[in-house]
Amino acid sequence: MEIVNGQYTASGIALEEIANEFGAPVYVYDGNTIVNQYNTLKQAFAPIDIKVKYACKALNNSAILKLLKKQGCGLDTVSINEVLLGLRAGFEPKDIIFTPNCVSIEEIQEAVNLGVHINIDNISILEQFGTIYGNSVPCCIRINPHILAGGNTKISTGHIDSKFGISVYQLRHVVRVVKSANIKVNGLHMHTGSDILDAGVFLEGAEILFDAAKDFPDLEFVDFGSGFKVAYKEGDITTDIQELGAALSARFLEFCESYGKNLELWFEPGKYLVSESGYFLVKVNVLKQTTATVFVGVDSGLNHLIRPMLYDSYHHIVNLSNPEGKQRIYTVVGYICETDTFGWDRKINEVHEGDILCFKNAGAYGITMSSNYNARFRPAEVLIYNGNAQLIRKRENMDDLIRNEVDVQL
């Protein structure tokens, strides 16, 4: 986002005008940012041709999926419906991995029938999978290396109390099940959770996976999940992709040599690919001065962007309507009948009722975590690409709210 001719723009398009044209609240994504992030990640790991499986739970609009597919990206899915969305967007089954947690064996069978890669994250399902398929369908195994990473316990998945993956301490049990059911394990996976601060954590996890690989002779790929940290605030430490890429790809090549085969190296970024591409635009309904604070009340709330309330995440807030205005201190809140504070004591260019505010880093886990709470409509979505802004999802309306209700006589 940059100021051009006195207006905040993304890839040359004035953001406030998007709000004027499509209405607020609206999610806007800059497709160029997504493509740049994808290319940066790929290049950081050269000489290895890494396979990127976009974790589509972050943002699953078909236009975004198609844009990433066009770059050569695959897909990481966590529900059968995400698999179906991926197939509908044109992904080949072989480019999709299904990495669910605590789903039923029936859902896994559905995914097998659709031909996608299966990633198994508990021994009970592994046993059932082996009983049904033997070595006729390969699977990947999700290992929990128990590396504590990331800031928020709700999103870090590698710790000892985590429900994710099969503990690395249970490897002997896994090997026993694999041998007795004659399962073909074609991949090993770990996803240590969001927000990894340094390359060292990744490398530690990598060693654990490389070590485990000795027990599985049929591997075709190793999947390191995600957890790349992106900057939300100025000065935030981010994962140094260049450093990680150089160190891990060198180590990976060594590993392949000792394993005796050139395996594929996979990653499943969500946030890294789409977070920064997203701008959530809202309109200021009211300025409310209390004895202690100046509140800015906007036409949105935790129903549209829940991350600040759920994870204490920081989203930078910019007043698109007053780029030159002098900065004042505000607390920005939503219109939901719950406490839904987007940000306390934020320095924002002087705000007036009717102004359009912009939340940055709204591409990941924004609209996909939205709801109809307080009987509000989910916002529209707009994609900036090829020099123009296009609607990629209509704002909901009253019909959407009542679509599945059943009329009964009382």
Ligand X SMILES: *Cc1c(COP(=O)(O)O)cnc(C)c1O
Catalytic residues: 337
Whose Cβ is closer to ligand X: residue 208's or residue 364's?
364
Say if residues 380 and 23 touch (Cβ distance below 8 Å).
yes
Distance of closest approach, residue 386 Cβ to ligand X, in angstroms? 26
Say if residues 99 and 122 touch (Cβ distance below 8 Å).
no
For ligand X, the binding residues (CB under 6 A) are 55, 57-58, 76, 78, 99, 191, 194, 225-228, 268-272, 364
Distance of closest approach, residue 97 Cβ to ligand X, in angstroms? 8
Whose Cβ is closer to ligand X: residue 268's or residue 299's?
268
Distance of closest approach, residue 272 Cβ to ligand X, in angstroms? 6
Distance of closest approach, residue 43 Cβ to ligand X, in angstroms? 18
DSSP output for 1-48: -EEETTEEEETTEEHHHHHHHH-SSEEEEEHHHHHHHHHHHHHHTTTS
Running DSSP on this structure, what letter comes out for residue 360? S
Say if residues 4 and 12 touch (Cβ distance below 8 Å).
yes
Running DSSP on this structure, what letter comes out for residue 322? -
Whose Cβ is closer to ligand X: residue 55's or residue 256's?
55
CA distance 353 to 156: 39
Whose Cβ is closer to ligand X: residue 28's or residue 78's?
78
Distance of closest approach, residue 193 Cβ to ligand X, in angstroms? 8
Cβ neighbour number for residue 247 with a 10 Å cutoff = 16
Whose Cβ is closer to ligand X: residue 13's or residue 96's?
96
CA distance 204 to 142: 16
CA distance 177 to 347: 57
Say if residues 111 and 85 touch (Cβ distance below 8 Å).
no
CA distance 74 to 97: 8
**Residue 50 corresponds to which tokens in the numbers above?**
């890494």
